[in-house]
Amino acid sequence: MRAAIFERFGGPIAVERVDDPTCPDDGVIVQVRANGVCRSDWHGWLGHDPAIRLPHVPGHEVAGTIVEAGRDCIRWRPGERVTVPFILGCGSCPACRDGQHQICHDQRQPGFSTWGAFAEYVAVERADSNLIALPESLDFAAAASLGCRFTTAYRAVIERGRLQAGEWLAVHGCGGVGLSAIMIARAAGAAIAAVDIDADALALARTLGASAVIDASAAADPAEAVHEATGGGAHVAVDALGHRITAGNSIRSLRRQGRHVQAGLLTGDDAEPPLPMESVVGHELEILGTHGMAAHRFPALLAMIADGRLAPQQLIRRRIGLEEVPATLMELGEQQHAGITVMELA
């Protein structure tokens, strides 16, 4: 098969012929029809994820069709259209038994711990615990945006942040997760203040439902600007980017007893950011993490799509082929395209 592969961290990524994946006994082989381009792939390419072994094929936002099922796979058969969360739970540890596969004690992540889906085929282990059947009405490209961006946003805003109708959500960083959070918050009946430094991202945020947009490059203090726009601070704030500045701004943009959700990965120099803990104590703020979503939680999100409250395809701004993946991935650190880029294969 053909795959986008790199042999050293930060080195060239090339589309090459590699061996087809072998089907895991407990898993399936998926013929990749769409795979989202995500900032986490860029982190992986730079060596920020200790799970990656070289050479490596990235890609963790896959949608496609099963072409082979392993002998121990009970629930899935060739021909079924599926997607998968970016974390595969084992199904048997204490977290998985509790239904919390996203914090499994023994996680696998296609695109990180195993080869991913910037390829014609991808092996997905642990299929019975982790695959999700796609409704016929949901196309592959839209489905590919669910497994990472939309599920992360849904888990962050609805399940972790407990955002209610009529409350204010502040979104710091309007990339894929941030824009997904805006769409989900709007579907939930909340008001949204969106913060970014990119004019295109802010314009898209407004189109998707943000009633206040704040240009962080122009505002003297973006957190203070959120307080002004929301009449006293956000009830829930999400750092959707993952940066020491946005993490701090998100916490400082909260009203008393507000909930901060850290959705963006903080790595390298940002791994241990200085945070306004005085306000966390004095204002009884909550600081919450979020790490994907278990397969069995997908139906609530799919229901929002089925009844028209959410349209994930609105976020797709670029569609590319496999040949364009290397350049697109390598420039992700420098260039932020508003909206989601999806690789599609015929």
Which stretches of the chain bind Zn ion, using CB under 5 A?
38, 40, 89-90, 93, 96, 104, 148
Q: Break the chain down into helix, strand, coil percent, rounded to 5.
A: 30, 25, 40
- The helix or strand, by DSSP H or E, that contains position 191, with its residue range, turns out to be strand 191-196
Least distance in angstroms from the C-beta of 23 to Zn ion: 21
State the nearest-atom distance from the C-beta of 47 to Zn ion, in Å.
17
Nearer to Zn ion, 89 or 242 (CB): 89
Q: Which is nearer to Zn ion, 3 or 95 (CB)?
A: 95
Q: Report the residue number, 114 or 253, with the smaller CB distance to Zn ion.
A: 114
For Zn ion, the closer CB: 215 or 270: 270
Looking at the Cβ atoms of 222 and 339, the one nearer to Zn ion is 339
Contact 339, 315 (CB under 8 A): yes
Q: What is d(CA 91, CA 97) in angstroms, rounded to the nearest whole number?
A: 6
To Zn ion, the closest distance from the beta carbon of 308 in angstroms equals 25
CB of 211 to Zn ion, least distance (A): 27
Min separation Cβ 215 and Zn ion, Å: 26
DSSP 306: H
Residues near 283 by beta carbon (within 8 Å), at least 6 away in sequence:
254, 255, 256, 257, 258
Q: How many CA atoms lie within 13 A of 76 on its CB side?
A: 34
Q: In whole angstroms, how close is the CB of 78 to Zn ion at the nearest point?
A: 26
Q: Residue 268: which region, alpha, beta or left (left: phi > 0; alpha: psi -120 to 50)?
A: left
- Closer residue to Zn ion in complex, CB, 35/246: 35
- Nearer CB in complex with Zn ion: 38/234: 38
d(CA 114, CA 123): 8
Distance CA 336, CA 2 (A): 27
What's the closest the beta carbon of residue 312 comes to Zn ion, in angstroms?
A: 14
**Cα–Cα dist 312/327, whole Å:** 25
Distance of CA 55 to the CA centre of its chain: 24
> By the 8 A CB rule, do 136 and 125 touch?
no
Q: Which two tokens stand for residue 170?
A: 């502040």
Query: CA angle 71-74-76, nearest 5°?
Result: 100
Q: Which is nearer to Zn ion, 34 or 213 (CB)?
A: 34
Rounded Cα distance between 91 and 107, Å, is: 10
Q: How far is CA 151 from CA 73, 159, 176, in A?
A: 25, 10, 11
